[in-house]
């Protein structure tokens, strides 16, 4: 059982594990290796993973969560977020969201946008809890599943989330190693 997680930048070495989680979490809609590589090579991307810190084991552990955003100069868009089903509902998703929002504030984004399946209640509950509001519906957004998406928005100018308190971020500089896959254009 994990005791807590630490966040760090997503690296090339994490690809296999992240894609494994993708398939587990998103089934037919999962990103492929090529999609993930293309995504991470894009401008303004910022991706992190959550690594468990176990008291009984040393060294790196298989990551249990991942998330990423795209900053286009005005707003950030949450591109993905996922947590290992075995450790869901233990606060990892919340930690990843805190980091994404913190990053969005840091790059001075006006808002954070995302899409979520209309039937994805756990995720919708989490986003609502972070004060995201539903903007509208994108019909048949998710393919091949053919499911509608809600678009949701968190206005960073208006919102004052409890996590506004200064936090020490271990993931401020995700691109400081040669094999980093993230494109931190911000
Ligand atoms: C959405 C997801 C990332 C949440 O991760 P998590 O680690 O389980 O989330 P947390 O434990 O930090 O919970 C944060 C909040 O989300 C909401 N939440 C999470 N799981 C929930 C569930 N099964 N039912 C209702 N609300 C839920 C709650 O508000 C929760 O706060 P609380 O525990 O104080 O009540 C996870 O369920 C997941 O990976 N889902 C599959 C992938 C996915 O759908 N990603 C989103 C794509 S848009």
pLDDT number for residue 181: 38
In tens, the pLDDT along 40-77 reads: 999 999 999 999 987 666 666 799 999 999 999 999 99
Region 19-47: what's the mean pLDDT?
95
pLDDT number for residue 163: 52
Q: Whose CA is nearest to atom 9 of ligand 1?
A: 93
CA distance 22 to 153: 24
Ligand 1 centre to CA of 64 (Å) is: 13
For residue 175, pLDDT over 90 is answered with no
CATH classification code of 4-54+62-160: 3.40.630.30
Q: Which percentage of the chain shows pLDDT scores above 70?
A: 80
Give 121-124's long-range contacts (Cβ < 8 A, gap of 24+). 122/88, 123/81, 124/150, 124/152
pLDDT number for residue 1: 55
Check pocket membership of 183 for ligand 1, CB cut-off 6 A.
Answer: no
**Which sequence spans correspond to the domains of the chain?**
4-54+62-160
Better pLDDT: 24 or 56? 24
Q: Which of 19-23, 92-96, 118-122, 166-170 has the lowest mean pLDDT?
A: 166-170
> Binning pLDDT at 50, 70 and 90, where does residue 119 land?
very high
Ligand 1 centre to CA of 88 (Å) is: 7
Strand order in the sheet with 65-71: 4-9, 45-53, 65-71, 76-83, 111-117, 147-155, 133-142
Active site residues: 115, 127
pLDDT number for residue 176: 35
pLDDT number for residue 185: 31
Region 119-125: what's the mean pLDDT?
98
**Gyration radius of the chain over CA positions:** 16
In tens, the pLDDT along 125-162 reads: 999 999 999 999 999 999 888 999 999 999 998 765 55
């Amino acid at each position: 059982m994990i005791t807590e997680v630490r966040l760090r930048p997503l690296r090339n070495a994490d690809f296999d594990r992240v894609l494994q989680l993708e398939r587990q979490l998103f089934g037919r809609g999962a990103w492929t290796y090529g999609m993930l590589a293309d995504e991470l090579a894009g401008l303004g991307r910022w991706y992190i993973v959550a690594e468990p810190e176990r008291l009984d084991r040393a060294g790196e552990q298989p990551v249990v969560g991942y998330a990423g955003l795209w900053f286009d100069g005005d707003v950030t868009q949450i591109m993905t977020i996922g947590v290992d089903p075995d450790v869901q509902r233990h606060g990892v998703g919340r930690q990843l969201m805190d980091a994404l929002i913190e990053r969005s504030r840091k790059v001075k984004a006006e808002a954070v946008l995302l899409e979520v399946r209309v039937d994805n209640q756990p995720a919708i509950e989490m986003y609502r809890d972070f004060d995201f509001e539903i903007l509208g519906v994108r019909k048949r957004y998710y393919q091949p599943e053919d499911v509608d998406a809600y678009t949701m928005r968190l206005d960073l100018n208006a919102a004052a989330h409890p996590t506004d308190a200064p936090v020490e971020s271990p993931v401020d500089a995700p691109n400081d190693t040669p094999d980093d896959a993230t494109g931190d254009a911000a």
